[in-house]
Structure 1
Amino acid sequence: MTEDDGVDEDLLTIGAFASRARLSAKALRLYDRLGLLAPAYVDEASGYRYYRAGQIERARLVALLRQLDMPLARIADVVEARGPEAAALLAAYWDGAEARFASQRALAGYLRGRLSGRSSEMYERFTVETAEVPERVVLTEKRHVLAPELPVWIPGSLGRLEEGAREAGGVTAPPFVVYHAEVTMESDGPAEACVPVADEAAARAWAERQGRVTGAGVRVEPARRIAFARITKAQVAHPQILAAFEAVESWAAERGLSVDGPCREIYFADWDAAGPEDPVCDVAFPVK
């Protein structure tokens, strides 16, 4: 028997199946290896693969989904689903892909500005000021987190800490997040969520109870001078926020100030109620 001969009426050789599916035999072997489309039958003696005609639609669907750069695990979910469920899975993937493309388009524009020497023009949209911040007791959660996880982790963490603040005399100043190292798609910080509170003893008692579950802690944030730029809700998105941080660094360097600690985002507005052009956050560096 050769790979061009059929085993029975219902089975097609890989060559015949590839021709009917308008795919190459190489692609079919790859789909088998990836667990996306297994042959209906494999001859143990010869190793020849055989497929059923009913598998053609799945083969074509796998090929089309791979053209969308869909991860293998998500392809498997789509091809196993049926009708509206499969369509919904595809729609969810593509919504995420379009969001990534939009972010990458913005980042490419930002990088073009940097590479062409127009950084100062980008910084001009931000007004930088300084402020003296007193010593404060803060409830904290610190976590290694990647950039895509921040939109979920930040509000969740600050929400938990604000609940703890109710047992510690209340929130005494805007909450903030400290980035102890860079947080990107590949670098995971860590980042530290902080909520200033009034009662240190009560804060430590709450953190002692919660710390085993959430990693909550208490520390004293020293008095600092900060340089900051106020940004809108729309500017919080990457890479606009990156340009804001760089604008603050550039402003400080031009005035002979040195950075004296990790950068931070200070949140002073109701995020859900704010519109795209409403100020919601200060991006800041401690300086001296």
Structure 2
Amino acid sequence: MLTIGEFSRLTHLSVRTLRRYHEGALLEPAVVDQDTGYRYYSVEQIPTAQVINRLRELDVPLGDVQRILRTPDPGVRSALVADHLRRLEAELDRTRAAVTSLRRLLQPGPAPIEVELRAEPARTVAAVEAVVGHDDVAAWFAGAMAELTAAVGDGVSGPPGGTYDNALFEEGRGRALVYLPTPSPPRTGRVHAVTLPAVDLAVTTHVGEHDHVDVTYGELGTWVVRNAMSVAGPVREVYRVGPQDAADPAAWRTEIGWPVFRVA
């Protein structure tokens, strides 16, 4: 038997942590002296303590650690750990995107964006549209675009695009529409023909991943406030180069069109 101090030195888990794990029924001592209350551990418990230590270093919640340790099936244990690793990777991706955006904002002299005033004529496209929450846009977009691509097939006549109502940004929920240009829009499933109205746009190009597109939106909005008159139409995006065209996110190009009122 090992005293709690000896076990602590062998496992690099503090005495305080071992006591907390005991109280939470996560790692119970092999023996507890009924008279003194002293805790004693066996050498066979060292691997379990090391597993707990590694899981906690990965920020696995105590409840999940307990489920992993109590699951007798190795396959189920592996699946539980893999699921947490996927969540960590997703959080890491979000953190990296936020760091990239913050660094861009903190640049002392960001280069001014290039803006083009463009008159877009009305046109009919194949589209999927829905009212979605801001946090659900990415997942909804992927499903809608896959359905559009399957429905239109080889009849695509231009890059895909989308329109996004102001409520989506202002209230966290609003109408989103994605489309594919095609001479003969089909009607199947959620896919149907939509006529995009003629509009005047202030257009700039966002370079790279879409995670920090909000910075480009802010720069374009600032330009519009200073140089044009904004109107209440939905913002338009055109995906000139995207994941379907290039594996490297640095090559992606998204046009953002801000509706404006042009006098001439």
Provide TM-score, normalisation by structure 2: 0.66
Alignment partner of 1:247 is 2:235: no
Match of 1:146 in 2: 135
2:238 to 248, 266, 280: 266
Taking a change above 3 Å as real, the CA distance of residues 159 and 263 of structure 1, as seen in their structure-2 partners, is: same
Match of 1:236 in 2: 209
The answer to whether the 8 Å contact 1:138/1:221 transfers is no
Match of 1:192 in 2: 177
Match of 1:107 in 2: 101
Aligned residue identity for 1:194: Y
Aligned residue identity for 2:128: T
Taking a change above 3 Å as real, the CA distance of residues 257 and 33 of structure 1, as seen in their structure-2 partners, is: farther
Output one character per residue of 1:203-227: Cα deviation in whole Å (capped at 9) or x when no partner: 2xx1xxx24xxxx565433221121
C-alpha displacement of 1:282? 0.6
Q: CA RMSD in A?
A: 4.4
Structure 2: runs of 5 or more not aligned:
none
Aligned residue identity for 2:234: P
Output one character per residue of 1:210-246: Cα deviation in whole Å (capped at 9) or x when no partner: 24xxxx56543322112111233xx23432x222222
Taking a change above 3 Å as real, the CA distance of residues 104 and 21 of structure 1, as seen in their structure-2 partners, is: same
Structure with greater strand share of residues? 2
Q: For 1:1-288, what aligned pairs fall within 5 Å after superposition?
A: 21-24=11-14, 26-28=16-18, 30-31=20-21, 37-39=26-28, 53-70=43-60, 89=82, 98-113=92-107, 118=108, 121-122=109-110, 124=112, 126-135=113-122, 136-142=124-130, 143-144=132-133, 146=135, 150=138, 153-166=140-153, 170-180=155-165, 181-182=168-169, 191-199=176-184, 202-203=186-187, 206=188, 210-211=189-190, 219-232=194-207, 235-239=208-212, 241-269=213-241, 271-274=243-246, 275=248, 278=251, 280-288=253-261
Structure 1: runs of 5 or more not aligned:
1-8
Counterpart Cα distance in 1 of 2:63 and 2:161: 37
Aligned residue identity for 2:221: E
Alignment coverage as a number of residue pairs: 245
C-alpha displacement of 1:15? 7.5
Counterpart Cα distance in 2 of 1:59 and 1:179: 51
Aligned residue identity for 1:134: P
Provide TM-score, normalisation by structure 1: 0.62
Counterpart Cα distance in 1 of 2:44 and 2:94: 35
Counterpart Cα distance in 2 of 1:145 and 1:77: 33
Counterpart Cα distance in 2 of 1:190 and 1:69: 37
SS at match of 2:241: coil
- Identity within the alignment, %: 24
